[in-house]
Amino acid sequence: VVSVMEPALMVHIGVAGEDAADRMKRVVQRSWRIVEEDLTGNGVIFFCRVFELAPSALELFKFKGAKDLAQNPELAAHAGAVMKVVGSAVAGLSDVATLVPVLQALGGAHAKYGVQSEMFPVMGQALMWTLDQCLTPAGLWTEEIKAAWMQTWTVVQSVMTNSMEDQISKAAMSWTLVEKQMGKVVDLFVTTFFSLCPDAALIFPYCIDAANPEGNPKMRRVFTNILCTVGQSVAGLGRGGLLEPIMANHGRRHLSYGVEIEHFETMGTSLMIALEMRLGDQWTSEVAKAWQNAYDRIQSCFTAAMKEECKSKSNKVVKRHINDLQLVQESWKLIEKDIDGYGVKFFMHVFEQSPEVLNLFTFKDVKDLWNCPYLQRHGAQVLRIVGEAVAGLSNLSKLVPVLKSLGAKHAQFGTKPEHFPLFGKSLLWTVQQAMGDKWTTELHSAWGKTYLSVQYAMEPAMKASYKELDIAEEAQKVKQLVQESWALVEKD
């Protein structure tokens, strides 16, 4: 490591020998003591100069919307932290073996944040200008000190940009590998995510059967888009702030879909597991770090935009989500006042729409269904379950397992996935009867989305249960054939 840094220092200063390099270090370190007298203030001056030279660089920071940057506390905090890092690098000139890995790590981190290698000359100019402003009044910005700082910055820039470009190159190569087996990576990504986060079945309404991504083209398409977004960010780590506005827009849109900030960590974990399983030996620590950095960058952009949207008093998306929940829960209180009566109305509407469904029930031959006690009990029981689902909308992690269990049980009763739209239509009709003149298009929309969420939680479990029943039935047939054939053998 020393051999990388020392020759560079001596070549840049133009004098051979250790004394010249040591003198340059001392000059830089002593001049920095003046800067340290007001690290934060000088840091703010430095960044303001960077933004003057390259206005687009401001887009990389959270305080980009601040009106008075020079007085912005977030910029002051960041500037102070950066200047402390510079101070550590200056102090580290006396221990090159320790300094170089630190600079390399900084280079990799800045690739994650979207800093382009082209920004380093700009930062160099801003640093020299800041030093000029700071040291000239004390008569210390001499040609020798200026040359020493320029030579030091050249070496720092070289080490950091090489590290950045190396990380970007490895990341881009790994994305090419992923593209070659995109389908298999996506399938693993989907199944892993929903196994770790089952309540997402209510958040992603297109995920009808998370256990079978191959049979759900729409779901595969959505998760392929997610993977491509991360992958293209991995391959484009050197494109600076170009991705940030796109990611922020995605974040605001995902808030409208009901995605919560907490889901991003599980999404990232699932993606890393899928990539590691598919890439095998090619999933090195460097590649893993590049993907994690890219995902962290995207997650940061997403969540920042979502938080900003949530804070806005005019946030129609959040208000609409809360309003839908309130509309559904408040309207359900009317059903609960006569749950037996509305249970009968619900099923009678089902039977009117699809008479063959009646054959699934033990009371199918009863002539007066309106007054059938069995139908009354069953209708009330079903609506109480719906009521539990309505109440549980505020706690999806507890609700989803209950709905999955119901889905599996209904397969045993003969209920089929194609019955869900029928039941949904009858449920909305029943609530409408209860609401009367108070029924609105907003209520219709809120209940429609609620029922779809319930359906998408129950349906995969129902399908899985049918598969188990088919296997069990086939096994029973085989058993019967074997026993019958052996009975014939036993006769002789």
What is the spatial distance between Cα 382 and Cα 350, in angstroms, rounded to a whole number?
13
Among the residue ranges 149-153, 258-262, 313-317, 462-466, the one predicted with the least confidence is 313-317
Q: How far apart are CA 81 and CA 28, in angstroms?
A: 19
Note the Cα 198 to chain centre separation in Å: 15
Distance CA 452, CA 445 (A): 11
**Helix pair angle (373-391, 396-412), 10° resolution:** 150
pLDDT digits (tens, 9 = 90+) for 341-368: 999 999 999 999 999 989 888 898 999 9
Name the range with the highest mean pLDDT among 194-203, 286-295, 344-353: 344-353
**Token duo for residue 48:** 């303001």
> What value, to the nearest 5°, has the Cα angle with vertex 349 and ends 343 and 352?
140
Environment class of 121 (CB within 10 Å of its CB; exposed 0-12, middle 13-18, buried 19+) = middle
pTM of whole model > 0.75?
no
Q: Rounded to 5 degrees, what are φ and ψ at 260?
A: -105, 155
State both tokens at 354. 């699809």
- Of the candidates 447, 461, 433, the one whose C-alpha atom is nearest the C-alpha of residue 348 is 433
Mean pLDDT value across the chain:
79
Q: Which stretch of 206-215, 322-331, 397-406 has the lowest confidence by average pLDDT?
A: 206-215
Which ranges constitute the DSSP H helices of 113-196?
A: 119-135, 143-180, 182-196
Residue 324: count other Cβ atoms within 10 Å of its Cβ. 20
Tokens of 237: 């780590």
pLDDT tens for each residue of 379-421: 998 898 888 888 877 666 666 677 777 777 777 777 777 888 8
Least confident interval from 23-27, 237-241, 360-364: 237-241
360 close to 414: Cβ distance less than 8 angstroms: yes
- Dihedral sign, CA of 93, 99, 102, 103? positive
Q: Are 10 and 21 within 8 A, CB to CB?
A: yes
Helix (H), strand (E) at residue 479: helix 441-490
Distance CA 188, CA 192 (A): 6
| Distance of alpha carbon 406 from alpha carbon 389, whole angstroms | 11
Alpha-carbon dihedral sign for residues 431, 432, 438, 444: positive
Q: Is the distance from CB of 58 to CB of 97 less than 8 angstroms?
A: no
